[in-house]
Structure 1
Amino acid sequence: MVLADFEEGLDNGSGAPGRLMRITGARDVGKTVMLAEFRRIAEKRGWQTISETASDGMAQRLVDKLQPRKGNFSFSFEPSISVMNVGGSLGGVHYEKNRMPLTLRETMSLRLDELEKHGNGLLVTMDEAQAATRADMVAIATAVQHLTSEDRNLAFVFAGLPSMSSKWLNDNVMTFLRRAQPERLSDVDLAEVSHALADTFQETGMILEGEPLRIATQATAGYPFMIQLVGYHIWRIIARNHKHDTAITVSVEDAEAGVQDALSHLGDTVHGPELDGLSPIDKTYLLAMAQDDGPSSTSTVAERMGRT
């Protein structure tokens, strides 16, 4: 549905909702993959695409990427001074001239001038938007707002953690971004996970069905990154233990071993780094919650922690 909305936005022209979109979701839920797919769709239509991951100096990097000859201009909000010499050393005239650096809006406009001659457009994608500086976000939002109001062939998609919405959409200078079509990526339905795992294994000459398929599917909990991990580690075990077999059926033991390897990898790459940044009180709270298989009540957690 998200990809269809984006394609429709490109086809329907300037001002279409799908051309201004914000993607939110938890870490490793597929936001970066979604942005890559947007770029593939746009490039297939002949558009130029530029991708950036938010960090200090992002607006300047966009300017550099958009310029035909890198280094001719610089991005700044302040005017610069250049000294000119006319007439040689004898009787020469010296004067100062104010020169405004090329802004992001101007750079994008000039690039669109060339692209639109051939019926093409420009797509800019930004990942990890919650990490952007306010100056960069203001520059980008302002440029996109003005170019959109001029009906330019432009699309802008930014993605990040759910916290980015409260951080940027409530900024008075960037109210334009509230118009961005919201798309929240969440867990994949388990029925779809089951079909995807079975089909993928079948394509590699392996049979994953019945109880092994149920074990693999349930272990993912619909989390996109975990789907990748479970599928890979089960396949890895099969490839290692049955590499000389011609017809391979995944066993319960294979599925359980693959799931354990996937959980270990998930802990090392996702849970570990998150826990490292928590305070001792945060960790104590989580340990109290972890005693429950489902949702925890606040009063029960408080009792376990010995707090009111």
Structure 2
Amino acid sequence: MPPVLIGRDVVLADFEEGLDNGSGAPGRLMQVTGARGTGKTVILTEFKRMVERRGWQAISETASAGMAQRLLDKLRPQKGNFSFSFEPTVSVMNVGGSLGSIHYEKTRLPLTLREAMGMRLNELEKHGGGLLVTIDEAQAAERSDMIAIATAAQHLTSEDRNLAFVFAGLPSMSSKWLNDDVMTFLRRAQPERLGDVPLNEVSQALADTFYSTGITFDGEPLHIATQATSGYPFMIQLVGYHIWRRAMRRIGDVNSGNIAVTAEDAKLGVADALSCLGDTVHGPELDGLSPIDKTYLLAMAQDDGPSSTSVIAKRMGKDVRYASIYRMRLIEAQVIEEKGYGRVDFAIPYLREYLREHAAYIRMTLGLPDDGTYITKS
């Protein structure tokens, strides 16, 4: 968690309003989307803190195979004779007296998950509490898990239980799950899209945070740091941390007198932050894209600013219609963004510079020529 959460007042207020307004309020069923590094996990953690201050319980999961079963395990009563499982069995007597068993289908899970949540709510509601369930990286969830969770949430909400659900993930989450006919309930989820933080808020937050540790951060050093973040939430954290670390190495002891961040501290800290950003955001983002997506981005990276979609297509050796398919995919994933008619630019800060720095390696892994051309395979 960052020491200060900035630029997220609206989404926090929407969630708190949902808690205040009771069962069925829009803010109690929410989908939070954003590109990598925009603070989705941070928001879920803050939601957890908010409900716990109200005497609620929060159960958090990150989407992967078996997610619904893990939720069941966390909800399983610690005392008593209750037993829940993903594939429950009942004992039956076969012909001849031997003991056998029958396995239910996985469609039994939604009802079982609903029962487990209902039992937990029975205890929480006695004391005025409720239950928050958060799912991170929801775009990676298995369909059977999402059906189970959505079905349980729908039934419990219709029963006016003190319950809140928040799903967070990349923008692809919306098209993947909200258009699924089996999960129409999730279409009612209040959308919250996380974007960049205004630079004036970034500047104030950095100055205040450093001041709280006994260090002055203003003037040119603060300007260097603020501009370097581009308002990108994860970069704000990286820049702040690495500049603070550089300053502390130089200062040694904050009790030694007047202490201030220098321009050199700021420049070196920004360089450290950029290196870390490439390893933790740019690399993983590219790993999740198709070869042609990457080729499209390499073609864009030749420009210093917004790129013409027709020029990108020409560099790729394809027609505009073909290139537009990948343009729309990258816009939906919030890797790039529209910049006026027929023009696009990078939505993730410093991705252009990262692509330029690693262009030779990326071209080699894609099997592209080493002469700078971007001819793609059909």
TM-score (normalised: structure 2): 0.74
Partners in 1 of 2:295 and 2:29 — Cα distance?
Answer: 41
Distance 1:58 1:305, change over 3 A: closer
Partners in 2 of 1:164 and 1:109 — Cα distance?
Answer: 27
Asked whether 1:141 is paired with 2:150, we answer yes
Q: 2:277 aligns with which of 266, 281, 293?
A: 266
Partners in 2 of 1:119 and 1:84 — Cα distance?
Answer: 45
Distance 1:286 1:95, change over 3 A: closer
Distance 1:284 1:163, change over 3 A: closer
Q: 2:66 aligns with which of 57, 75, 78?
A: 57
Counterpart in the other structure of 2:266: 255
Counterpart in the other structure of 2:357: none
SS of 2:17's equivalent in the other structure is helix
The code of the aligned residue for 1:32 comes to: T
Partners in 1 of 2:279 and 2:101 — Cα distance?
Answer: 58
Asked whether 1:196 is paired with 2:200, we answer no
SS of 1:103's equivalent in the other structure is helix
The code of the aligned residue for 2:176 comes to: K
Mapping of residues 77-226 of structure 1, within 5 Å: 80-83=89-92, 103-226=112-235
Partners in 2 of 1:279 and 1:260 — Cα distance?
Answer: 29
Partners in 2 of 1:152 and 1:306 — Cα distance?
Answer: 57
Per-residue CA distance 1:195-220 (angstroms, 9 max, x = gap): 00111111111111111111100100
SS of 1:68's equivalent in the other structure is coil
User: Is this contact kept in 2: 1:46–1:120, CA < 8 A?
Assistant: yes
Partners in 1 of 2:292 and 2:101 — Cα distance?
Answer: 59
Task: List alignment gaps of at least 5 residues for structure 2.
Answer: 1-9, 320-378
1:121 Cα shift? 1.0
User: Is this contact kept in 1: 2:69–2:85, CA < 8 A?
Assistant: yes
Distance 1:280 1:3, change over 3 A: closer
Mapping of residues 29-40 of structure 1, within 5 Å: 29-40=38-49
The code of the aligned residue for 2:61 comes to: E
Counterpart in the other structure of 1:88: none
Q: 1:242 aligns with which of 251, 256, 260?
A: 251
Tell which structure's C-alpha radius of gyration is larger. 1
Partners in 1 of 2:140 and 2:310 — Cα distance?
Answer: 35
Q: 2:239 aligns with which of 211, 226, 230?
A: 230
1:250 Cα shift? 1.6
Across the aligned residues of Structure 1 and Structure 2, the Cα RMSD in angstroms comes to 2.4
Task: List alignment gaps of at least 5 residues for structure 1.
Answer: 86-92
Counterpart in the other structure of 2:328: none
Partners in 1 of 2:119 and 2:281 — Cα distance?
Answer: 42
User: Is this contact kept in 2: 1:25–1:186, CA < 8 A?
Assistant: yes
1:99 Cα shift? 8.9
Percent of pairs identical after alignment?
75
Partners in 2 of 1:260 and 1:10 — Cα distance?
Answer: 42
Counterpart in the other structure of 2:313: 302
Counterpart in the other structure of 1:89: none
Per-residue CA distance 1:73-111 (angstroms, 9 max, x = gap): 2123xx7330369xxxxxxx8888979777101111121
Distance 1:19 1:281, change over 3 A: closer
SS of 1:159's equivalent in the other structure is strand
Per-residue CA distance 1:250-304 (angstroms, 9 max, x = gap): 2222211111111111112211233345555444432331222221101222344
Partners in 1 of 2:289 and 2:142 — Cα distance?
Answer: 23
User: Is this contact kept in 2: 1:82–1:99, CA < 8 A?
Assistant: no
Q: Which has the higher contact order (CA 8 A, sep 6+)?
A: 1
